[in-house]
Structures are given as structure tokens and as C-alpha cells.
Structure 1
Amino acid sequence: MRCAAIFAALVVWPLISVAQDVTLTSRDGTLAISGQFQGYDGELYRVMTEYGLLTVDGEGVTCEGPACPDLTNFVADIRIAGEPGLAASLTSPLVTAFAANRGFVAVPVEGGIDLQEPAMGRVVAHFRLVTATDTEAADKLRLGAADLTLSALAEPDLGARVLGMQALVAVTGADNPLPAMATADLARALSGQIQNWSELGGPDRPLVIHALASDSGFRKALEARLGQSIVAGAEHANLAELDAAVARDPWGLAVTAASANGKARRLTLTDSCGFALQPTKLAVKSEDYPLTQPFFVLTPKRRLPLMAREFLDFIETPAAGAAIASAGLIDRDVERTDLVSDGIRLANAIRGAGPEIGVPELQRLTSAMAGAQRLSLTFRFDGGARTLDAASRDNLATLVRLIEIGTFADQELVFAGFSDGSGPAAANLQLSRERADVLFEAVATAVPDLGDLRVSLAVEAFGEALPMACDESPIGRGLNRRVELWLRAPSPREIPETEN
């Protein structure tokens, strides 16, 4: 039983070091364990013993043996795995900004960046990028060969935080005459269902799809968003090569990151109902723009070294925003816009309203929008269910943090639920309310002292009354199933729901 006072945890750790014998002895000398040294993260020892793999608090023991670390000059080794494109371009500015925030000096070295104390020049941490595909990087994280992973793909068995958002765009050759394309047509072309430009209103020429390699995280994330595989006629090593190749090919077509779009001509996107789709900052942050791709930092289901935990805390702060933007991502700072100034959304509400959505329901919607602002924090659900997706879980954590620091004092936060147009309007209205209730309960539970913070919460539900896109495609239906976050002055009034 006395061992429990020393052992911080009894967990399965990956074997990442050359094993050597050590003995850990309690400070009072009454307890000792021996085994093969597996690692030290600045706080905890990991030792393979006759009892199994033990994690031991370093403050409670002394270490004897050839593998014992130098505690006086300990250097944290933080391994970040990711693809050589966006992950590589993010690592350097993020680590450099983190070093400045912590008062260290970032010194580029072969294979990574050292963090040094400014006075003595002592190295306190070494950050290095382990180059791998997104799939390989996730495996390294599971096996303990990496501490963090930067990836376009979220993994269900790994923690995920959104670093930023990418706006994806459709591009073609500089000499291609087609001015615009519907997203449904784009999806059919990428999947091989359309093979000639004449099927899109262009000339009678074969359509050539350009893409990254099939094992790239960017391509896999795009295929997951499209819900189908891409049938590529030409593959490229990175987005820069893809853009250059498409620019030279008048009959080429590809999807790339807006930040990587150079000489290839960008196509204007619409949905199949004619709704305009613009990758504005608010539309990307709220994922209302259909070709929005979150970029994640993935974490393992084990305790991370202290320096890695502090780095994760840093990337959630505004100080990390400039570094994230320098790599072409859109940061996650919360944007606001007046609801009534959004004429496109109101026009879509009128044009896209189904036969069961009457004028009274649209009037109720516009009345609720009057005087309110919309925040870019928008919530969507895995597979249309009631479980928040990875980006929305991050949005929820951000919202709770903003409430706790007083950002919304003396204001009312409204969770406005919406649905797609599949099924009866009454059922959709109820489903949109249930999803909004999920957010209401989550925030009320996470912040029990809302009254002390002078923040009130409310729920509104409008079903299918305010479509963001056409319901004819899976992407459009996914955009329409959402809970928006509105901000308005507290009001005791209730807006009754109309019967349809």
C-alpha cells in the first residue's frame, strides 16, 4: 500500500528509450524499486519492473544507475509528427512564438529548434519535427514515437484540438473558359462521374483531375468531406506542385488550399440551388463555407511532458494566432457580425424555404434576429446525430473559456438550432431544438455560476427555416444541420413557435 504514495500512476507506456537498469528509492529510504529505465519527462520516471510498467513521481524518489537523467540540466525532448507541407510550415513559427511567450530564445538547429535560457544559453527543450504522412504520424503518436501530431485528420482514439481552418477552393487551368461550378458538379467530377468539360457547360475536352497522393492527409480529409474517393488522373507531391501543374493544364481540375493557390485560376463555387458560396473569414470559421477543412493538433491518451502541455496551452491563446496565420491557416479568434446585415442569408431563407415554412415562421425568425449578432462559434454534429464533432467540441471549450473571463457579461447567449429540409417540418423543428438544448445544457453544466458572471442563456429553434446551402447534396444537408451562437441584450420576451 505504501507504494501507492510514490507511484503516480500504473499505465501502459510505449517503450521509447534504450532500456538500462535503475533503482528508484523513496526520500526516506524505506522503499525502493528496480527495473529498466524507459524515460523521464521532467516530472515522472517510467520504469519497467517486475510489477509491470510503473510511472513514478520524480519528486518523491532518488535515482541510481547509469540511465538516470541529469536533473540539473534536464532537456525536454518534444517530438511533433506531421507531413512536410503544412505541418512543417506551422512547427517553426509556433515553437518560435511559444519560446518568446515563455521568455526563451528559439535557436534553429539541425532537425528542429532548441529553446534556450537567454542569460546562460542553457538548452531547456528541444522541439523536432518527425516527418510522416498523417496516418503514419497518428501511429507514431499511439506508439510513443511522437508527443504531438499536426494533421488534417482527426482520429477517434486520439485527442484533437483545432489549430486553425483552411478554406479549400476549386482551381483549373489559366486558359479554361468555365467561370463557375456547383459543388455537386465538383464532387461528381472529383469522383470520376463527370469526365468531360462539356458536361459542365464547357468545351468538349476530357477533364483531368489533379490531386495529392492517395495517402496524404489533405486528400483523405477532402475525401471524408466529400463522402467519396477522388479518382485522380495526375498526382503530385505537394500543393505547390499541384497548383503549378493545374495552371499549365487548361483541362485540369483540382481542389487546393486557398493559401496555396497561385497561378491556377480559381473557380467561383455555387451550390446546386444557386446559393453563393464565398470563403469569407466568418464563413470559414463557422464552417458555413462547404469546403472548410480544420487542421488539428492530435494528442495521445497518456500524460504528456510538462513542456508539451504548456505548448498545448499556448496554442489556445491569441499570441499563437499570428504564427498560425503565417502558415496560411485562418485563426480561431471569435468573429462577430450583425445578423440583419447578412442579406444573403435572409434571401436564402426566403428562397430556400420549403412548402411547410410559411410567412409567420419567417417573421418569427427575422424578429429573433433583430438587434442580435452572430458569433463565428458554430456547432455541428457527427453524422447528423447529437454528438458534437471534433471542431465543435473545441468551439464549446472556447465558449466556456470566454464566458468565464467575462467576455459576455450583461448579455444573452442564444443557441439557435437549425436542421436540413429532410422529413416533415415539425419533426425538423423539434430536432433543431433538441440539438440547441444539448449546447444549453453543456454550457450550463460547465459554468454553474452564470448568474455571478451576469450571462444568460436562451434557446431558439427554427428547423429548416434558414438554409445555408441546398439540401440536394450531403454537404449541403450537413451545413444546414447546425446550432448557431447569437449574442443579444437580455430580454424577457419569448417568441412563440408557429405551427406548420
Structure 2
Amino acid sequence: MMPAIKQYNTGIKDMICTHARKLVSRTAAFITVVSLSMAAAAHDLEIHGSNTVGATLAPMLVTGYLQQLGEGDVRTRGTGTVNEKILSTRAGDRDISILVAAHGSSTGYRALASNEADIWASSRPAKASEVEQLGNRADLRSLDSEHVIAIDGLAILVHPQNPVNKLSIDQLGQIFSGQINNWAQLGGADQPIRLYARDNRSGTWDTFKSLVLNGEYSLHESARRYESNDKLSDDVSRDPAGIGFAGLASVRNSKLLAVSDGNAPAMKPDQLTVASEDYPLSRRLYMYTTGEQAPAMARELIDFALSSEGQALVAESGFVSQNPLAVKPDFEAVVPDSFRKLTERYQRLTVNFRFAEGRTKLDNKALRDLLRLKHYLAEQNRQARDLLLIGFADAQQHELKSQMVSELRAISVRKALNEIGVENAPYTGYGHYMPVSGKGSPRNGRVEVWIKNR
């Protein structure tokens, strides 16, 4: 009898312990949910994600937005956590605060998906898996959800005294994978190369991995990893053997290298090459929202970021604005005489039209650039006849086909401009000549915009 009672008591104890553990677990979960709700409620808006966007650009855009909204100064304070800022002001009878948490692009997606963030700041486009996972709430690839707020060039950085001036994308892949491990192999000093790279949560790392490593190379285990672009750049600038990559706004005291892709000439990132996305390591900086479901304040902030005023702040922050500018390009020696003749009475605008899929469907950035171009013409008191749209194609099986594709692209942009009242802009196609990237790259398929000299 005693063993049975003992066994019964043990069973009761086990049941009580199990119940207690479940209760503690549920209580902890409840506390977590409440804490998250309180944290979300603590701010009128939360932006999570990319350090590239969140370190300087997002706070500047938030400040500009709050200055329009509020009646006094915009205050900035930390949260006690590195790479987080709270910006606040007084509007009417209440305080408004916005949190910017810059811990990497992937963290921003997770925060948006879990309703902790209203805006996801990202230095890379949304991945197919992310688009699919959030598909029941919003289409992250739609014009309502995907917002290109700036253009950036992935800067390849070395010590100021390093004699190397340019590298190909393939050389960069070999360097960062350890296959090229001494500067003497590149015409530099006889010393081992030291690698500096962004961390795995960074959209800058995702971009580098996609554009440079490209599935062919793996980052060498000796690379030092960083959450901050600025810290990485500062460390490279002090290391004669160092090479690293960061956002264009974080060059600081490091030396910037020119980069080539395939048979295209090497380019340094600048206003024209980055804004037009001709520079091979150019990239778009994004803010993602849940479209029409996003809070009104989130939509207003996005509208401000995309406005001329917001884009002026983009330029001030060190990134490249999407407001069109007219520039007289410095042609490389390889530019054909026929193209020099075609454009001799024109300046180039810092906008390229690119395509989402197929050959003629404009992507989300291009759809907004149509309106920017219309605004630019009105501001400058210019007409559609002052423009020249030049289409380009990637190499096709036959030269005639390349010419046809390039003209179709130019016609597609012309039609889109017609629809918004910029009618009958002159156009031409230039076939597969003057590639800006290796053969097969979608970046070669583009429409450049030129404007007549006054």
C-alpha cells in the first residue's frame, strides 16, 4: 500500500510542477507581450533596421519631418542601447517621439513583421522569402510599400597611402576570400592584406555578398566584422594593410577606389555614377511599410523623405539625392565618337530609367522618377522637346536585335512621360554599346536622360 501512495504522491508532485512551469511560462509570455506593447506605445513611430540608413540619414529625415510638424526644437537622446536614438518635439498639446533603432537590415524586417516597427529601413531590397512571409499583410514589392529613399555607392576603402587606385569586382572577390592575400599581387607594398567587413545583420554585407562574392567566393575567416560603417572606415584609414567596404557616406579619412565590372571601365562613386546607378556597386536604400495599413504618420514621413525637401537632406547626409541634376560627364577614352557627337549639345541628368521585369516595365523607382523629371522641367522652365531619351540594351544574339530592344526601352519611357503630360520627348536607341556592367547584367538595360544646353 505504501509504495502505491508514494507513487501517487510523486505523480501529484509532477503534475503540480508541470502546472507551475506552464504558469510561469505563460506569465513570462504575457509579461513579454505587455512589455512589447508598452514599448510600442512609448513612441508615436518606430523605425528599425539598417545601420547605413539609421546612423545619420533616418535621424535627419525624422528631424526635418518633425520640424514641419512641431512648434519647437527637435530633441535627440539615446536609449541606453548603442545605435538607437529617440527624436521628439512638441506639436499642439502633446509630445511626439520617434525611435530610430539601427541594428541591421534583417532586424528591421523582423521588427516590421512582429509589429514592433512601423517602418523597416533597409540597405537592400526585400528578399523573396520576406515578401512571401509578409504577403498576408502587404505586398512589399508594391509602390505603396517599397520606397527608395536614397541611392548609395558601396565604397571600397583602403589606407590613404595605398598606391592601388582601382580593382575589378572579380579581384575584390579574390581579396575578400583570401585568394589574393598580399598587396604586392596588386601592385602595392609587400605586406599581407587585412580584411574589414560589415556584420551578418547588415544590408551592406548582403549587398557586398550579392554583388562581389556572388556565390563564387566566401568571406575569409580572418575578416574583422563591424556593426558600424563609420567605425569600420576609421579603422581602415589607420591600417596601411587594410581594405574594407562601407556606405558612401562613411568614406571619412579612407581612400576610395574605382571599381570595374566585366569589360566596362572602372568608375569611382560620385554624384552622376551613383545617382544613375552606373557605378557597379551602387545600391538603393529603402524604407518599407505595410502600404495602406501603415500608420498615417509613417506614410507622412515617407512622403517627406521622397519630396524635394527630403531629398535635399539625403544629399546633405552624404548619400546621393534622387532630385535630378544636369551634369556634363567626363567621357572615358573608350566612348565612341558617334556618342560624343550625339550628346555634344546636351548635359546628362542624374537619373536613369530601369526596368522591373522583361524589357519595358518600369520599376517602382522609375515610376517616381517620372514625376521628379516632370517637376525638374517645370522648375527649370524647360520643355519635353529639350530632352533626349537614349535607350541601351545588353548584348543580344544579333546587333539589330540589341538596337531594337534599346529603342523599345526609350519608347516605353517616352510613353510613360506622355501619360503625365510631358509629351513627345525625342528618343533614340544606342544598342548594346557602352555597357556599364558585365555581359548579361540587367544594369546594361537602361534609358539615360539628357537635356539640351541652354
Percent of residue pairs identical: 24
Aligned counterparts, 1:209-288, within 5 A: 209-226=195-212, 227-228=214-215, 231-232=219-220, 233-234=222-223, 235-270=225-260, 273=263, 275-288=265-278
Of 459, 464, 483, the match for 2:432: 464
Quick check: 2:52–2:123 contact (8 Å CA) kept in 1?
no
Structure 1 Cα separation of the partners of residues 331 and 52 of structure 2: 35
CA RMSD of aligned residues (A): 3.5
Cα separation, partners in 2 of 1:230 and 1:404, compared to 1, 3 Å: farther
Structure 2 Cα separation of the partners of residues 18 and 215 of structure 1: 24
Structure 1 Cα separation of the partners of residues 161 and 396 of structure 2: 40
Structure 1 Cα separation of the partners of residues 384 and 162 of structure 2: 54
Output the amino acid matched with 2:434. L
Q: What secondary structure, in the 3-state scheme, does the structure 1 residue paired with 2:180 have?
A: coil
Match of 2:26 in 1: none
Matched, 1:138 2:109: yes
Quick check: 1:93–1:326 contact (8 Å CA) kept in 2?
no
Matched, 1:81 2:17: no
Structure 2 Cα separation of the partners of residues 265 and 174 of structure 1: 5
Kindly indicate which of the two structures has a greater share of residues assigned to strand: 1
Quick check: 1:161–1:394 contact (8 Å CA) kept in 2?
no
Quick check: 2:418–2:424 contact (8 Å CA) kept in 1?
no
Matched, 1:126 2:102: no
Structure 2 Cα separation of the partners of residues 394 and 467 of structure 1: 25
TM-score (norm 1): 0.68
Cα separation, partners in 2 of 1:444 and 1:189, compared to 1, 3 Å: same
Of 459, 471, 480, the match for 2:444: 480
Q: What secondary structure, in the 3-state scheme, does the structure 2 residue paired with 1:167 have?
A: strand
Quick check: 2:261–2:280 contact (8 Å CA) kept in 1?
no
Q: What secondary structure, in the 3-state scheme, does the structure 2 residue paired with 1:149 have?
A: strand
Matched, 1:310 2:320: no
Q: What secondary structure, in the 3-state scheme, does the structure 2 residue paired with 1:279 have?
A: coil
For residues 95-153 of structure 1, the C-alpha deviation after alignment (integer angstroms, 9 at most, x for no partner) is: 22112223532233565222313xxx622532122444211212322332211122101
1:257 deviation in Å?
Answer: 2.6
Q: What secondary structure, in the 3-state scheme, does the structure 2 residue paired with 1:95 have?
A: helix
1:82 deviation in Å?
Answer: 2.1
Match of 1:185 in 2: 171
1:297 deviation in Å?
Answer: 1.5
Kindly indicate which of the two structures has a greater share of residues assigned to helix: 2
Match of 1:108 in 2: 76
Matched, 1:171 2:157: yes
Quick check: 1:415–1:483 contact (8 Å CA) kept in 2?
yes
Output the amino acid matched with 2:229. L
Of 383, 386, 402, the match for 1:428: 402
Structure 2 Cα separation of the partners of residues 436 and 113 of structure 1: 44
1:460 deviation in Å?
Answer: 0.9
Of 59, 66, 70, the match for 1:92: 59
Aligned counterparts, 1:6-21, within 5 A: none
For residues 41-79 of structure 1, the C-alpha deviation after alignment (integer angstroms, 9 at most, x for no partner) is: 9xxxxxxxxxxxxxxxxxxxxxxxxxxx9xxxxx98111
1:335 deviation in Å?
Answer: 0.8
Quick check: 1:294–1:391 contact (8 Å CA) kept in 2?
no
For residues 168-204 of structure 1, the C-alpha deviation after alignment (integer angstroms, 9 at most, x for no partner) is: 3222245544343234322332344434434423455
1:484 deviation in Å?
Answer: 0.7
1:271 deviation in Å?
Answer: 5.3
Structure scoring higher RCO (CA < 8 A, sep ≥ 6) equals 2
Matched, 1:154 2:125: yes
TM-score (norm 2): 0.74
Structure 1 Cα separation of the partners of residues 93 and 345 of structure 2: 56
Of 407, 410, 413, the match for 1:439: 413
Aligned counterparts, 1:190-209, within 5 A: 190-203=176-189, 205-209=191-195
Structure 2 Cα separation of the partners of residues 253 and 162 of structure 1: 29
Q: What secondary structure, in the 3-state scheme, does the structure 1 residue paired with 2:291 have?
A: coil
